[in-house]
Amino acid sequence: WAAYGYSISEFEIWDSTAPPPAPSLGLLPKPVSLTENGGTPYTLNPNTPVVAVGSQATAPATYLAGLLRPATGYALPVVTQSTAPAPIVVEVGAGKGPVGHAAEGYRLLVTTGTVRISADTANGALNGVQTLRQLLPQWVESDTVVNTAWTVPAVTISDYPRFAHRAMMLDVARSFYPMNEVKAYIDSAAQYKINRLHLHLTDDQGWRIAIDNPTSNPAGIDYGRLTSVSGRTAMTYNDSGQLMGTELGVTGFYTRADYAEIVRYAGLNGMTVIPEIDMPGHTNAALHAIPQLNTAGAQPKPAPGQQTAPANGTGNVGYSTLDSASATTYEFVTQVLTQIAAMTPGPYLHIGGDEAHVTSHANYTAMVDAFTATVASLGKTVVGWNEYAGTALPRDNAVVQFWNGDRTAVSNAVTGRGARVVLSPAAHTYVPQKQDARQPLGGSWACGGPCGLDRHYNWDPGTFIPNIAETSVLGVESALWGEFIRRVGQAQYYSFPRLIATAEVGWTPQTQRDYADFTTRLSVAGGRLTVEGVNFFPTADVAWR
Ligand code: TNX
């Protein structure tokens, strides 16, 4: 219609069904402190520069300009100084952000004449960028030019997270996600200030990360078989226990270069990658690929997924184990962990430790104690699922990730070993649990029915584990298991909008959180997600606009 001389706003005047104005800016997660100053908004113009002040400001300024260019069509040059009117300024330096929140805090000041993002760190400034993005019209998410007024309301924001760890887990073992899908999933989550990407790289059904043959290789293991054999396998049962026949999950694996690219891309989006090698259970893919791991007379296992059908919406879990009595087990695990540690710049290595149902307690403890000590010797902080809470965790250098079961064991690990805690309780963070009856697949064991958006929002990570201080809680994590979920479109259909709830649970002070207020703010996010192409589930709790 622009060709006929009309603008979109002129059409809107005639449209009596246009929705009422958006609620209170609709920011997600809700900022700690926000004042709307009223008056004339700021407006981006074709000559707006993005001024990066301080060497650490270049990355977030470049990220912002990259976000704004496709929809605006403006040049948005990233410069270190400018006399142009109405600039966007991104400044990073000691003392620039909110006092006491240097790691990730930011200030955002919008006046008629300027937008200013100030932070102590690049990641803090990036958080300010994500907030600014949500203050612009939703069309800013378009990947082609939209002709509209690029206004930002005049606000003063000072903001910082409640928890350092606001994570999402992607199970790439049961069903693989190619690089472009991992990037799309990162894109959809980064806007809500999710800052950890936990990759569940190995399980019974597949091994998704390339490991090189080392020069010293006493057991003569061909590590290439991990991916040449078990990078080609995937789940054969769906979550209802039905054999999917030839309709397998997606197969594939990441080369070292692929993994480096995921780490780089996650980093650009403010995310630290946490790799998981799940042991000593959930190891059928390794046992299947590496004959030497099958000592004590056992034969290499047949193709994965053939043992028993899963029941009750839970996957086929807990049937495999490494051999605690075999020296080859420790040689193999040390080699794998050493290579994963070298590829991973982040401080964490996850060793799994869950559902080792065919491993005796003594054998479990022997192996897990060795694995956690190896991680510590590699200079990393070990993470494991809560089953490992009772083992000899490296003192003040371990993280227990709670999903289900004994909370007292977790508090004992905190008080006894100085462990810290990541919370992904199944009822509040497991996205393969169905959101409501309209999701055809999906478990219902965690909530005794669907686990709706409200269950993911209404809980307090500060009091979830008894008798520990909130300072021992690193944060929260949304977990996307992959038994029946295929490709990024389905991943988003199960994660969204519940991942946004987890993002706010991890960010916003408990006293400022309210479910009705959250769903009201969320009502305007659907339009943004649609423009972005994120396949969210339109949960009935939200009056989507
Ligand atoms: C339990 S949660 C598992 C996973 C499954 C999930 C859903 C956890 C640490 N282990 O292996 O995928 O249930 O079925």
pLDDT tens digits for range 135-183: 999 999 999 999 999 999 999 999 999 999 999 999 999 999 999 999 9
Helical ranges in 45-202 per DSSP H: 58-72, 122-135, 179-190
pLDDT confidence tier of residue 1, bands split at 50, 70 and 90: very low
11, pLDDT greater than 90: no
What interface predicted TM-score (ipTM) does this complex get? 0.94
Distances in Å between the Cα of 68 and the Cα atoms of 31, 61, 63, 332, 469 are 22, 11, 9, 47, 41
Q: What is the mean pLDDT of the chain?
A: 91
pLDDT score of 16 = 47
317, pLDDT greater than 90: no
CB of 403 shorter than 6 A to ligand 1 = yes
Question: Could you give the domains of the chain?
Answer: 33-159 (3.30.379.10), 168-338+354-366+430-514 (3.20.20.80)
CB of 335 shorter than 6 A to ligand 1 = no
355 a catalytic residue:
yes
Tell me the C-alpha distance between 484 and 238, whole Å.
Answer: 5
CB of 281 shorter than 6 A to ligand 1 = no
pLDDT confidence tier of residue 303, bands split at 50, 70 and 90: low
Kindly report the number of other CB atoms within 10 A of residue 6's CB atom. 11
Q: Which of 174, 229, 231, 232 shows the shortest CA–CA distance to 205?
A: 174
238, pLDDT greater than 50: no
Sign of CA dihedral 483, 484, 489, 493: negative
Q: Which region among 55-64, 239-248, 305-314, 459-468 has the lowest average model confidence (pLDDT)? A: 305-314
212, pLDDT greater than 90: yes
- Among 314, 368, 406, 494, name the best residue to mutate to test ligand 1's pocket (greatest count of ligand atoms within 8 A of Cβ): 314
pLDDT tens by residue, 342-355: 999 999 999 999 99
Indicate the SS3 state at residue 275.
strand
pLDDT score of 484 = 83
Q: Whose CA is nearest to atom 13 of ligand 1?
A: 314
Burial of 142 (0-12, 13-18, 19+ CB in 10 A): middle
pLDDT score of 27 = 97
Residue 182 CA, ligand 1 centroid: distance in Å: 20
Residue with tokens 């008894």: 466
Tell me the C-alpha distance between 230 and 157, whole Å.
Answer: 49
- Closest atom, ligand 1, to C-alpha of 479: 2
pLDDT score of 191 = 98
CB of 128 shorter than 6 A to ligand 1 = no
Tell me the C-alpha distance between 102 and 160, whole Å.
Answer: 9
pLDDT score of 235 = 63
Q: How do strand 42-43 and strand 151-152 relate by DSSP bridges? A: antiparallel
% of the chain surpassing 70 pLDDT: 89
Secondary structure letter of residue 401 according to DSSP: E
pLDDT score of 318 = 78
pLDDT score of 2 = 41
Secondary structure letter of residue 300 according to DSSP: P
Q: What residues contact 468, with CB distance under 8 A and at least 6 apart?
A: 410, 411, 414, 415, 421
Kindly report the number of other CB atoms within 10 A of residue 377's CB atom. 13
Residue 375 CA, ligand 1 centroid: distance in Å: 23
Tell me the C-alpha distance between 228 and 215, whole Å.
Answer: 19
pLDDT confidence tier of residue 454, bands split at 50, 70 and 90: very high
Q: Give the global pTM.
A: 0.93
pLDDT confidence tier of residue 315, bands split at 50, 70 and 90: low
CB of 278 shorter than 6 A to ligand 1 = no
